[in-house]
Amino acid sequence: MEELKKQLNSIQNPIKGSKSNVTSPIKNNNTKLNSEIRNSILRGELLRFAILLPAVKLNITELKKTNPKYLELLIKIIKVSLTQLSGVDLEVPLNILLSQFKDASFYNQEALDFTWEVLNQADTLTSKYYLSTFAAGPISNTNLKKQFKATIPLIKYVLSTLNNSNDLTKSKNFINAVKILVNENANADKIKLLPKIKYKIETLTSKDYPIDVIKIIYSKTSTENIIYNIENLTKSNLTQDFDYGNYLIKNSL
C-alpha cells in the first residue's frame, strides 16, 4: 500500500508544467497546433493516471473520447481527488464522476464550466468537499443547465462571504449555498439579477444589506417586476428596518 501511494504521488504531476501555464514553443499565430500539443500532453497525463488508478483505468476508453475543451478539468478533478488533507477524510466518488464525464463534456457543459470555476476559486478543502458531496449527481442532470450557468459568476462572491476555518464549516456552508442556487426550483433569470441587486444597494448605501436570495429566486413575482423594483429602489427606501427582499418581490407593474 505504501509503495502504491509513493507511485501515485509520483504521477500527480507526471509532466512538469502540464497545466495551463505551460510555455509553448508555438507562437500565438499557430493557436490550433498549440492547442493540439496541449491536448496531447493532457491525454498523456490521463494515460499515466490510468496505469495506477482503477477508476481511471475502468473508464479510460470513454475518457479518451472526452471533448478536448474539458481535458484540463478532467485532470484537475483527478488530482484534487488524490490530494491528502490533514485531519479530514474525504473520499471522492471518482468512478461515478469519471463514468459521467465524457457525456457531460458534450451535453452538460454548464455543469463542467461550473465545476471548473469552483476548483479554480475555492481552496483545496472546499474543492474536494464539492467533488465528494455534490458534483456527481448534478453533472449528470441536464435539467440544471440554466441554474449552473447563472450561478457561475456568483461563486467567487459566495466564497468571499464565508469565514475561513480549518474544519469543514466553510466547505459545508458553500455547498449549502450552491444547493439553494443550483436547484430545479430556483429561477435562473432571477439568479442572474443577484449581482445587479448587490450593485444597486452598494451604490445607495455603505451599509451591508445581506441579499435574501431564497426570497428572490423562489418568488412567484415575474422577473420583469423585480427588475422594475430594482430600478426604482432609492436611498430613502433603505432604512434600518427596511426589508428590501419584500420590496423587490412586491407587485408593482
User: In this predicted structure, what is the pLDDT of residue 202?
Assistant: 84
pTM, full prediction:
0.84
Residue type (1 letter), 2: E
Q: Are 107 and 70 in contact (CB under 8 A)?
A: no
Q: Are 198 and 211 in contact (CB under 8 A)?
A: yes
User: In this predicted structure, what is the pLDDT of residue 212?
Assistant: 85
Cell numbers found for residue 190: 432571477
User: In this predicted structure, what is the pLDDT of residue 110?
Assistant: 97
Q: Are 128 and 89 in contact (CB under 8 A)?
A: no
Phi/psi at 219 (5° precision): -75, 160
What stretches in the chain show pLDDT beneath 50? 1-26
Q: Are 240 and 205 in contact (CB under 8 A)?
A: no
Domain residue ranges of the chain, discontinuous segments joined by +: 2-11+34-186, 191-248
The CA-based angle 34-35-38, given to 5 degrees, is 90
